[in-house]
Structure 1
Amino acid sequence: MSDLKADTGRLRECSRSLQRIYDEFTGRPNPTEGYSAAELGDARIMSAFGDFADNWRIHRERLAERIRTLGVITEDAATSYEGVDAQLAAALRKQDADAAHGGGFG
């Protein structure tokens, strides 16, 4: 029989950390916001900065969604492991109680 172990506390900690990363990632403004052509010195730089901002926004949204999904998965995994463990423990206690009263499987 294999000894499967899951550190559900660690999974929940991971989920909370991913949520904090998601919050930071989505709560920050675009790094290119607030600059004018005068501050950047040239319209071409402003254009390149704008292109970067558009590209960054798209990729940041995708990455943020993946981070959020991974956080949900780790939380769900911890809950599932704990549920299975509780069901197994209950079944084993019932089997022990049945055996103590002269019963067997069934």
Structure 2
Amino acid sequence: MGDQEADIGRIKESARALKRVHDTFEKRANPAKGFGMGEMGSQKLLNAFDEFDSNWKIHRRKLMEELEKLHKITKAAADSYEELDSELARALRESDKESGKGKKGGGS
């Protein structure tokens, strides 16, 4: 079996970053929303943003769903690695204690 190492901190940060991106997408829709012709400068540009808004809502929803899935996967992976690491460390400590007790008991 090959050596495997997981940077749990980095995996957790990835999960948090995915959640931040998801939340940003959730809060930000059309960047031109609320602006009129005075701010945008042309009806053509305003129409383009309105069309973009309609398409963006559909694609944004799909993208948000995928971001949420990835967030859950990376968070679960980090939690699993952390739990496995803790269990392994605990088992090794118990094994060391048992080995130490056997040596002390046999030498006394």
TM-score, scaled to structure 1? 0.74
Describe the superposition over 1:50-78 as per-residue Cα deviations: whole angstroms up to 9, x where unpaired: 44322211110010111122112111111
Q: How many residues align?
A: 100
1:85 aligns with 2:88: no
- Would you identify which runs of 4 or more consecutive aligned residues in structure 1 move more than 3 Å? 31-37, 39-42, 48-52
Which structure shows the higher helix fraction? 2
Which residue in 1 is equivalent to 2:63? Answer: 63
Name the CA distance, whole Å, in 2 between partners of 1:56 and 1:9: 33
Which residue in 2 is equivalent to 1:26? Answer: 26
Which residue in 1 is equivalent to 2:72? Answer: 72
Name the CA distance, whole Å, in 2 between partners of 1:78 and 1:3: 18
Which residue in 2 is equivalent to 1:41? Answer: 43
Question: Letter of the aligned partner of 2:94 in structure 1?
Answer: K
Name the CA distance, whole Å, in 2 between partners of 1:41 and 1:19: 36
Local SS of the residue matching 2:102: coil
Shift of 1:35: 5.9
Q: Matched residues, percent identical?
A: 42
Which residue in 2 is equivalent to 1:52? Answer: 52
Question: Letter of the aligned partner of 2:13 in structure 1?
Answer: E
Long gaps (5+) in structure 1? none
TM-score, scaled to structure 2? 0.72
Question: Letter of the aligned partner of 1:97 in structure 2?
Answer: K
Long gaps (5+) in structure 2? 104-108
